[in-house]
Structure 1
Amino acid sequence: MTHSTADEAQMSVEDFEEIERHAPETVRLEFINGRLEVKAMPDGNHREIFMWRLEQCMRHRPGLRLYPETGLKTEAYHRGRARTDGALAPRKHFVGQGEWDGREGVLMVVEITSHDDDTNSRDRVEKPIGYAEADIPVYLLVERDSDTLTVFSEPKNGTYQQRPTYPYGATVPLPDPVGFTLDTEELQDYAD
């Protein structure tokens, strides 16, 4: 898969940000690989999985917060705009920052797949590239279609070097700088 360049993009990043500013609150927009994307609204299981993840982070790393619905600059040259399901960062990290700021210092992003047509290309292909290019140390993908978790880590030259996958119920080590282990037994309750 090749990335779009600014010349091939549907619009400029500035035009995207203007559209996003005026979108209704019920619409979640992203600008991924030069294209405007509409992100699905979370369903009940999606929200429960997010809360499970939030509780795990608070228990293991109380000085960190898992910020929901966080807008981050991604991709090479910060030309992408991704709205993560969660961004793990130090407490008060986003104070005083704009909608698409704050990538520096984010330790991990979390995405929980939705049941929409774009999930495969967006969450499994394009976002790992964009987050790796932005040097976000860990990307945790909760895969609801296969009941697995994939831990992307060690970004180098726009690619995560490590990407082990674990089934729901497994013990999942999250590498540094996150540095704790997830007990994913509860996720089996949310299998679709």
Structure 2
Amino acid sequence: MTVMAERTSQMSVEEFETIASAAPETVTLEFIDGRIGVKKVTDGDHDTIVSWLTKRCIQARPDLDVYHGRGLRVAAYRQGRARPDAVLAPEARFAGYGEWADPDGALMVVEVTSYDTDTDRRDRHEKPAAYGQADIPLYLLIDRDSCTVTVHSSPDRKVGGYRVVRTAKFGEKVLLPDPIGIELDTEILKNYVR
């Protein structure tokens, strides 16, 4: 039997929120699995992908809102805080919330990889675990390193992560299952990679 050592949290969530509120606009801070993480300011291609996805989702599902940089309280374990690149939720779902909101009602979270050294750990491992544990139905990862789109569905709240993971290459059609229920043609994403 493998015994994993429990990692000690770097700080309390209150300390993190104080630091995050004072961070300069050149970085975005997150607190996942007891560790503070820094996301680089996005580049134009990253923003174009988020804009493209926003348009597709709103055209297909005008009953939803797309929130950019919405702070979510994720992971009951160690009280995580994440800022997905986009969150799809019912209209006005996060109205009245401050900087950090409970993820209840979020239907899908989206991350677009950045070209930094922390992307693998953050976007491909820690965030799917945190979003699944938070019971967010879908996690969409648009991975510019591997030129793939990965749809995580059927969250596993007990252990974190998702039971169903489907990956497609840029250029293929990708189904975002219920509760979103739309298909994306990802051909255009080939234009926004290095």
> TM-score of the superposition, structure 1-length normalised?
0.94
The correspondence of residues 2-151 of structure 1 with structure 2, limited to 5 A, is 8-77=8-77, 79-151=79-151
- Choose 74-83 or 10-19, whichever is displaced more: 74-83
Give the deviation of 1:165 after TM superposition. Answer: 0.3
Structure 1 residue 77, shift from structure 2 partner = 4.4
**Distance in 2, Cα, partners of 1:180 & 1:3:** 41
Inter-CA distance 76–180: structure 2 relative to 1 (3 Å threshold): same
For 1:168, the equivalent position in structure 2 comes to: 170
More deviation in 124-133 or 72-81? 72-81
- Equivalents in 1 of 2:56, 2:78: separation in Å? 30
**What CA distance in whole angstroms lies between the structure 2 residues aligned with 1:77 and 1:187?**
35
The secondary structure found in structure 2 opposite 1:117 is: coil
Q: Which amino acid aligns with 1:65?
A: D
Distance 2:85 2:6 in 1: 24
The 2-side partners of 1:167 and 1:155 are apart by: 23
Q: Would you identify which runs of 4 or more consecutive aligned residues in structure 1 move more than 2 Å?
A: 1-5
Q: Report the alpha carbon displacement of residue 39 of structure 1 after superposing the two structures with TM.
A: 0.6
> Following TM superposition, by how much is the alpha carbon of 1:27 offset from its aligned partner in structure 2, in angstroms?
2.1
1:188 Cα shift?
1.6
Report the 3-state secondary structure (helix = DSSP H, G, I; strand = E; otherwise coil) of the residue aligned with 1:164: strand
CA distance in 2, matches of 1:32, 1:174: 25
> How far apart are the structure 1 equivalents of 2:41 and 2:74?
21
Q: Give the 3-state SS of the residue equivalent to 1:66 in structure 2.
A: strand
The offset of 1:26, in angstroms, is 2.4
Give, in whole Å, the separation in 2 of the partners of 1:86 and 1:12: 26
SS at match of 1:69: coil
CA contact (8 A) 1:136 1:155 kept: yes
CA distance in 1, matches of 2:70, 2:121: 20
Local SS of the residue matching 2:37: strand
Aligned residues: CA RMSD: 1.6
5+ residue gaps, structure 1: none
Does the aligned pair in 2 maintain the 1:78–1:134 contact within 8 Å? no
In the TM superposition, residue 4 of structure 1 has moved relative to its aligned partner by 5.3
Q: Distance in 1 between matches of 2:170 and 2:4?
A: 32
Q: Distance in 1 between matches of 2:97 and 2:72?
A: 11
Counterpart AA for 1:96: G
Which letter does structure 1 place at the counterpart of 2:183? T
Pick closer, same or farther for the CA change 1:40–1:68 going to 2, 3 Å: same
